[in-house]
A and B are shown apart, each in its own frame.
Chain A
């Protein structure tokens, strides 16, 4: 009764399974999305819920198309703010990490304040910033405050993770501080820095939104968060949903772009970007 069976992980089988698995990973979320939207539409129609209480997905989508001129302008404003905050957080986080790495004095003096800045809720800081800074600057500063810390802490970790023997080798060949930083520490830290930036991308969007909401009716802002607040006051609920949808999509796209950039920069050597077998 003993017949020869292929081992559980023969080559053909894994390849076929891999393709199927990839397909499932794409199809399943789409199915869930479609089912959720259908159920939502059904609940709204059956119960005849008015649009100012809960608009169905159809109404939201219609608003998105109709209000596109206004919404796209707001989307652009929010994205520019996010980008400015993200760039400031990226540069600020990396530069601070390098300075901390070069000077323990500087690290001991400033790091506690970086932590304090991080743990204080930005929603509480934003109104203060809006008093002392021009609105656009305040919004960018908010995005920076939220986003710089993950860059700083990840970059610091990376810069301190240098292989001990490689460091010895650099010492043996008389490398200068700058050479050690450029050829050893920064390449070692690159994967951690990219991980930090990936978190910072989403967080700077959150920071921008929080600051826009805090600025709210006081300012002349026209970002997506401002649109949400404004639509809320006017009971224009479909537009609130449409703006929210745009924010989510923007967040996902930002994350996706940063993940792609990270993959492209690491694919030749880092474990995280390599396949299971090669």
Chain B
């Protein structure tokens, strides 16, 4: 595994951009060109979806922003809040799987980022309870992951990402494995969290419908190696709720985004 990218390379002044990618490429050790070159700016507080076919490098882009792997070339800039408190961490990450520790209770799973930052127990207790309340899981703090449904596990994973009160939330197809009803509920909960907490969210998905429902801005990527294909702004009224799903505007946006996405699939054989 490659070491984390040096964050000092290009820090961004707070208040403007949350994330800035310039000419970023990623070539895997086996020679596969996974990404880029990709330029991407994400404003602070924006909800952006990265949309593209499987294997287009969306997840790779997210891992580069998180510092989980280093770019082969180009620069990755992530804004860091000034005067960071010790328990704070500017990035929260939600994986496609819940990625919980099966041996630890829900509470201990959510506490993990604080524990790794060596936060004081008294302060972290309050943070953990607040994060659990934010995702509606206060009653299940003592439960073990195996006792929870898929949707609830995902909520725990979300609470763990929120517990450090990050500025940026990176989500890698978090709801892809859930049934439709659960996914819709989590979509709504995520939107209301985003409205209340005003985080920057970068949301990777391959679902046109999900991206239109959630995002202010959709970045459509080409197939491998992933580059920026088109951008679509979703200028629907806020706050969005279930009735947006059935509106004519929603259907229109879905058509626009699907058309924008079609060339990305054109190069691939039937899939």
Contact = CB atoms under 8 A, between A and B. Distances in A.
A174 B164 CA distance: 13
A71 B28 CA distance: 66
Which of the listed residues B103, B112, B113, B164 has the most CB atoms from chain A within 10 Å of its own CB? Answer: B103
Interface stretch (B94-102, B229-237, B260-268): B94-102
Interface string B1-26: 10010000000000000000000000
Given A165-B97, A269-B146, A270-B102, A173 B116 contact: yes
A163 B116 contact: no
A269 B99 contact: no
Contacts of B115: 179, 183
Interface in B129-145: 144-145
Interface residues of B, number: 25
Nearest to B98: A165
B113 A171 contact: no
Interface in A194-244: none
Contact of B101 (A166, A175, A268): A166
B99 A274 contact: no
A190 interface: yes
A172 B103 contact: no
Interface in B203-254: none
A187 interface: yes
Nearest to A274: B146
Nearest to B115: A183
B103 A170 contact: no
Contact of A173 (B1, B101, B112): B112
Contacts of B99: 163, 165-166, 169
A183 B117 CA distance: 13
B58 interface: no
Contacts of A274: 146
A187 B67 contact: no
A134 interface: no
Contact of A171 (B4, B95, B104, B117): B4
A190 B66 contact: no
Interface string A128-152: 0000000000000000000000000
B199 interface: no
B121 interface: no
Contacts of A268: 103, 144
B102 A183 contact: no
A187 B105 CA distance: 13
29 contacts: A165-B95, A165-B99, A166-B99, A168-B68, A168-B95, A169-B93, A169-B95, A169-B112, A171-B4, A172-B66, A172-B68, A172-B89, A172-B91, A173-B112, A173-B117, A179-B115, A179-B116, A183-B112, A183-B115, A183-B116, A187-B101, A187-B103, A187-B104, A190-B103, A269-B102, A269-B103, A270-B102, A270-B103, A274-B146
